[in-house]
Structure 1
Amino acid sequence: MRSLCRSEGPVIRAETTRAAAAQVSPLTRRALAPNPGPFTFTGTCSYIVGSGDVAIIDPGPDDPRHIEALLAAIGGERLRYVLVTHTHRDHSPAARLLKEATGATIAGCAPYAPCDSASVGGPNLDAVHDLAYAPDIVLKDGDALPVGDISLLALATPGHTANHLCFALAEEQALFTGDHVMAWATTVIAPPDGSMRDYLTSVERLRRRDDHIYWPAHGEPVRDPPRFLRALIHHRRAREAAILQRLEAGDETIAEIVAHIYEGVDKRLHPAAAMTALAHLEDLIARELVDCAGQPFLQARFRLRLV
């Protein structure tokens, strides 16, 4: 099952290669899972943080090859924590396998909470989540975990999913961003679990921080976070403006909107683009700029609110 964690946008040049864990900073190693695809780019990046006593962030999918690579990379070290940013199946399933192999503590986001309104986001939304994820410690915003001589701080960043966390490493002014911010493409927001309003609020929160580098769960790092976040917000507002323009032109359905504003984008990504369009429309309805007959969902009809 493919995760809904990938974008509708253009792919940026991939430098990440699948090999043994690579040292990418004095305190951080990166191992790439063998799960490339249109929604995972070159694969899930798992990060080994620390030395001697270590944590692994976003352990990745249930794939014996990746588990073996991670265990080999930490040979002779003590795995204290397996940290999970969110419960999409390309991120969390390996956590329980690493716990079984090492006795490590699973910590991070809360388990996925299914929404009663399955029709809002379409069928099979639950299937992209790891329903077997069972953390030993659920971290809340501001919780810190000591790992040897370092500490990792949890930041609540809902939007991509309701349970999404990022993890800050103050010793390197680094932020492990999961699927919240990525350099290769924009993040899919899939209602009802995802929320565009929550997502943009979380992005604005990151703008108030002084991180020097972001390590995302897919693709290469973001090396100029302030500039990148400005561009990301501009992109989201441009998509919003394009949706409003299509409604003004007479489009009433998400299918019509996606066909126009995502023309030329890989059609395999159109379902994810439809979810993000729905998230934008939910936000526009809340701001009283758009109307919908009944509850907003993928097959609903939308129109500009008359002033």
Structure 2
Amino acid sequence: MTLPQWVTLFAARTPTLPPATGTNLFLVSDGGEGLVIDAGYSDPEALRPLTDAVRERHLHVTGILLTHHHPDHAAGAGYLAELWDCPVHVHPADAAAVEQYVPEHRLRPDLAEGTTRQVGDVRLVALETPGHTPGHLCFWEPTAKVLFTGDAVLGAGTTWIGPPDGHLRTYLNTLRKLLTYPAEIAGPAHGPLVQDPAGQIRYYLSHRQEREEQIMSLIDKHPRRIAELLSAIYERQIPPAARWVAERTLLGHLVKLEEEGRVTRAVDTGTPVPLHQVTWTDEELRRWTDQTVFSAVP
């Protein structure tokens, strides 16, 4: 299945995480108007195919819809908003992080569950899908059953979920929520179009469950640090540049397991900060990854 004629995908080069090499931007247009989902990085040359298409089609862009605040999605929003004289819409929970990219008079933190934006006869519905970030959004087009998934569901690989932005239990609930939409095709922010959205989502859920079982099987044998878990689970599968992503992913699982009362932790010096009081500063992240031992609850 292909995308409907009212949407065009532009794969913009961005400094993102492998295996992706760029970010998919979607131009939704009808009746001479356009909406753009995500804005890529602040590189006018990488955004040129999109901006050329808007100019050549004589479109009036009425807004930019951000799935979330990460720079490979939001950093180009200020440039595009000024070019097209339009607002940038985002969920309030991610708005503060977008302020560094978008002038105040352009930023609209007004997207929430059920918010609609329309161009011509095409209506997009915002879905609150937190977990990757607190204010992550997907966009649903109910007539053609197209789901724009941002980083919630990718076309290749799995998305990383971990502190400081991510929360695994919330993300798993998001995946279950997305399964209730009868999507026939999904437009992810990275990778190719997803031809079987429900199948991909079910795979994501099973993959997270398998990873959790791996972690618990190792911790059940004896207490472990994240470095030990990383070595045992990933071995040499990840390049050094992506090591921090794997660490944060494992950390996301360990936070979930502690929330569920299945894991406890001890630090090399002092007393661990209670989970509900943790603020994910760089220092606290280093404490969890370098100075913390995780044990299974009997």
Task: Summarize the alignment of residues 163-178 of structure 1 with structure 2, pairs less than 5 Å apart.
Answer: 163-178=135-150
2:23 to 41, 44, 51: 44
| TM-score (normalised: structure 1) | 0.83
Check whether the contact 2:94–2:136 (CA below 8 A) recurs between aligned residues: no
1:59 to 39, 63, 79: 39
- Provide the secondary structure at the position in 2 that maps to 1:30: strand
Equivalent-residue separation in structure 2 for 1:137 and 1:278 (angstroms): 30
Check whether the contact 1:111–1:131 (CA below 8 A) recurs between aligned residues: no
The alpha-carbon deviation at position 228 of structure 1 amounts to 1.5
Equivalent-residue separation in structure 2 for 1:197 and 1:77 (angstroms): 41
Structure 1 gap segments, 5+ residues each: 1-22, 115-125
What value does the CA root-mean-square deviation take over the aligned residues?
Answer: 2.0
Aligned to 1:13: none
Equivalent-residue separation in structure 1 for 2:168 and 2:184 (angstroms): 25
- Provide the secondary structure at the position in 2 that maps to 1:73: helix
Equivalent-residue separation in structure 2 for 1:161 and 1:277 (angstroms): 16
Aligned to 1:87: 69
1:278 to 251, 262, 265: 251
Aligned to 1:68: 48
1:269 to 242, 248, 263: 242
Check whether the contact 1:67–1:97 (CA below 8 A) recurs between aligned residues: no
Structure 1 stretches (4+) deviating beyond 6 angstroms? Answer: none
- Provide the secondary structure at the position in 1 that maps to 2:138: strand
Aligned to 1:187: 159
The alpha-carbon deviation at position 221 of structure 1 amounts to 1.3
1:301 to 269, 289, 293: 293
| TM-score (normalised: structure 2) | 0.85
AA in 1 matched with 2:6 = L
Check whether the contact 2:14–2:40 (CA below 8 A) recurs between aligned residues: no
Equivalent-residue separation in structure 2 for 1:169 and 1:81 (angstroms): 16
Task: Summarize the alignment of residues 104-115 of structure 1 with structure 2, pairs less than 5 Å apart.
Answer: 104-110=86-92, 112=94
Q: Which moved more, 1:129-138 or 1:226-235?
A: 129-138
Check whether the contact 1:109–1:165 (CA below 8 A) recurs between aligned residues: yes
The alpha-carbon deviation at position 93 of structure 1 amounts to 1.5
AA in 1 matched with 2:89 = A
Task: Summarize the alignment of residues 228-267 of structure 1 with structure 2, pairs less than 5 Å apart.
Answer: 228-267=200-239
Structure with bigger RCO (C-alpha 8 Å, 6+ apart)? 1
1:47-88 Cα deviation digits (max 9, x unpaired): 001232110101100001133222111121111111100010
Aligned to 2:12: 33
1:108-133 Cα deviation digits (max 9, x unpaired): 2236478xxxxxxxxxxx8xx77334
- Between the aligned residues of both structures, percent identity stands at 32
Structure 2 gap segments, 5+ residues each: 267-271, 276-287
Equivalent-residue separation in structure 2 for 1:113 and 1:278 (angstroms): 25
User: Structure 1 residues 265, 244: CA separation in 2 closer, same or farther (over 3 Å shift)?
Assistant: same
How many equivalent residue pairs? 271
